[in-house]
Homo-oligomer: A and B are copies of this chain.
Amino acid sequence: MATIKAAILGFGTVGQGIYHIVNEKREDLKKSLGLDLEISAVLVNNVGKERIATPGVLVTDNFEDIINIPGLQVVFEAIVNEEPAYNYLCRAIDKGCHVVTANKVMFSKYSIPLHERAKSRGVFIGYEATTAGGVPVIKTLKNLLQVNSVRRIQGILNGTSNYILTQMRQDECQFGDSLKEAQDLGYAEADPFNDVSGQDAFRKLMILSALAFKKQPNWNDVRVVGIDEISLEDVRKAKEEGLRYRHVAEIEQDENGELYASVGPQLVGPDHPLYSIEGVNNAVALDTNYIGTLTLVGPGAGMYPTASVMVEDYAEIIGKRAGFFITI
């Protein structure tokens, strides 16, 4: 049986999750795909740092060591920020590797050139993990778009913001206290700016836009508001009226093809599909012409949800090449 050699770029929570899942599911993947998947190398920031044991795996802080591995075929990328991730992925694609990324900051900006590059090289890009964590909104959209057109997308795309809003309502606590709790529980970063400012949700919305509408609005035209200006008084008042604050990222296409996007807090009532989405969950409601509204809900982040959809991307890519058949 042939072996597929893969590397993981970035060995934080998500990178380690990929490593665990590939090892746990190695025999199953062999059986279903007819190919063995081996993690040959991981790219880290600091080789000296103590980390989980990875026997037989090259651990390096030098990307050149990885890109020069003979026969490397798949690169899983779980780094943050645009660079050097974009440069690494370009080089991996040029070498003929399939790439699977979780990097929303990079991918929101470079999805179009990366796809063009991959197409010309005959390789695939998996990016399910960039948007809504374990919720398979990218695959679902790709399938829908074979037949349906999408008019509007509305989503809760940042689990940290949703967790804070949920806590403020349920426990009647201040924004700062909810944020601290989210940080203590590992839901929010030490620097929570990207999450609470709406920037993280904005980047994910742009990825959905590129897929659903084949373009993005001008980024400067999109009003992005965070949750940091919502007071406990606002939340209490909404609660009394039977409403809830949700941090909603939405984009809509009008009849002329123009896109209108916004990211910010909204008050929603019990009939709204996002009303019942609590805690760190993400949700995406897709308004389509034939199916109507389809809503997907699930964990928006976390080691295993995110890593799991990345390994699914790998399986999908292999399936595209080999043809696949699931017996039942």
Interface contact A298-B304, CB-CB below 8 Å: no
Chain B residues within an 8 Å CB radius of A302: 292
Please report the C-alpha to C-alpha distance between residue A42 and residue B101 in the assembled complex, in whole angstroms: 45
- Asked whether, in the complex, the Cβ of A297 is within 8 Å of the Cβ of B298, the reply is no
Task: Give the Cβ gap from A215 to chain B, nearest Cβ, in Å.
Answer: 8
> From residue 76 to 97 of chain A, which have CB atoms closer than 8 A to chain B?
none
Q: Which residue of B lies closest to A305 (CB)?
A: B291
Interface check A67, CB cutoff 8 A: no
| Bound Cα distance from A139 to B319, whole angstroms | 14
Q: How far is the CA of A92 from the CA of B282 in the complex (A)?
A: 42
Whether A264 sits at the interface, judged by CB under 8 Å, is: no
A218 within 8 A of B: no
B294 and A147 contacting across the interface, CB-CB below 8 Å: no
Does A296 belong to the interface (CB within 8 Å)?
Answer: yes
- Chain A: how many interface residues by the 8 Å CB criterion? 61
Residue among A145, A210, A290, A305 with the highest chain B CB neighbour number at 10 A:
A290
Closest to A308 in B: B290
Q: Report the separation of the CA atoms of residues A210 and B292 in the bound assembly, to the nearest whole angstrom.
A: 28
With both chains docked as a complex, state the minimum distance between the C-beta of A18 and any C-beta of chain B, in angstroms: 11
Question: Does A307 contact B328, Cβ atoms closer than 8 Å?
Answer: no
Chain B proximity of A138: nearest CB distance (Å): 10
Q: Which of A215-232 contact B (CB under 8 A)?
A: none
* Chain B residues with CB below 8 A from A319, complex form: 320
Mark the stretch among A111-119, A178-186, A193-201, A245-253 that contacts chain B. Answer: A111-119
CB A326 to nearest CB in B, in angstroms, measures 6
Contact status A134-B276, CB under 8 Å: no
A323 lies within 8 A of chain B by Cβ? yes
A49 an interface residue at 8 Å Cβ cutoff?
A: no
Residue contact A296 to B294, C-beta cutoff 8 Å = yes
Binding site for B on A (CB under 8 A): 21, 25, 29, 32, 111-112, 115-116, 119, 124, 134-136, 139-140, 142-148, 210-211, 214, 270-271, 273, 275-276, 278, 288, 290-299, 302, 304-305, 307-309, 311-312, 315-316, 319-321, 323-328
Known: A143-B315, A288-B308. 5 other contacts (CB 8 A): A29-B146, A136-B140, A136-B294, A146-B311, A291-B305
